Amino acid sequence: MSLRVEVRHDRPSLDMRLELPEGAITSVVGPSGSGKTSTLRLVAGLWTPAAGLVAFGGETWFASASGVNLPPRARSIGVVPQRYALFPHLTACENVEASLLHLPRAGRTPRAKAALARAHVSGLDGRYPHELSGGQQQRVAVARAIAREPRVLLLDEPFSSVDRSTRKHLYGELKLLHAELGCTVMLVTHDLDEAALLSSHLCLIRRGRLVQAGSTQDVLARPASAEAARLLDYGNVFRASVVSHDRARRLSLLDWNGVRLVAPLDDRVGPGQPVDWAVSHAEVRPADAAGQRPGDNIVPATVRDIVTLGDDVHLRLAPDHLPALTLHMKVSRHVAHHRHLSAASPLRVRLTPSALVTMAPSEDGDAGGRPHE
Partner 1 sequence: MEWDAIRLSLSLAGWTLAILMPLGVVLGRWLATARFAGRHWAEGLLALPLVLPPTVLGYYLLVAMGGASSVGRWFQAATGTTLAFSFPGLVVASLLFNLPFAVQPIQRAIEAIDPDVREAAVCCGMTSWQTLLRVELPLAWPGILSAAVLTFAHTLGEFGVVLMVGGNIPGETRTVALAIYDRAQSFDAGAAGSMSLLLLVVSFVTIAVSYGLGSRLPGTRRRR
Q: Which residues bind partner 1 (CB under 8 A)?
A: 44-46, 71-73, 77-79, 81-83, 85-89, 98-99, 101-102, 128-130, 144-145, 148
Edge-first strand order for the sheet with 327-332 is 284-286, 346-351, 298-309, 312-319, 327-332
Residues 249, 295 contacting (CB under 8 angstroms):
no
Q: Which is nearer to partner 1, 28 or 43 (CB)?
A: 43
Task: Pick between residue 81 and residue 223 the one whose CB is nearest to partner 1.
Answer: 81
Q: Closest Cα partner for 231 from 368, 30, 17, 370?
A: 30
CB atoms within 10 A of CB 143: 28
**Residue 368 burial (C-beta neighbours within 10 Å; 0-12, 13-18, 19+):** buried
CB closer to partner 1 out of 43 and 219: 43
Instruction: State the minimum distance, in angstroms, from the CB of residue 80 to partner 1.
Output: 9
Work out how close the CB of 141 gets to partner 1 at its nearest, in angstroms, rounded to a whole number. 8
| Cα–Cα distance for residue pair 229/8, rounded to 1 Å | 25
Report DSSP state, residue 122.
Answer: T
Half-sphere exposure in the Cβ direction for 238 (13 Å, CA): 22
* Nearer to partner 1 among residue 154 and residue 357 (C-beta): 154
Question: How far is Cα 287 from Cα 281, in angstroms, rounded to an integer?
Answer: 14
Neighbours of 189 (CB within 10 A): 21
Of the pair 97, 296, the CB lying nearest partner 1 is at 97
Cβ at position 99, least distance to partner 1 in Å? 4
State the minimum distance, in angstroms, from the CB of residue 152 to partner 1.
11
At 108, the amino acid letter reads R
Task: Report the nearest approach of partner 1 to the CB of residue 131 (Å).
Answer: 9
Residue 247 half-sphere exposure toward CB, CA atoms < 13 A: 4
Closest CB 147 distance from partner 1, rounded Å: 8
Contact predicate 33/193, CB 8 Å: no
Minimum CB distance to partner 1 smaller for 94 or for 366: 94
Between 146 and 357, whose beta carbon lies closer to partner 1?
Answer: 146
Asked if residue 14 lies in contact with residue 49, where contact means CB atoms within 8 angstroms, the answer is yes
Shortest Å distance, C-beta 129 to partner 1: 6
Pairing of strands 201-206, 25-29: parallel
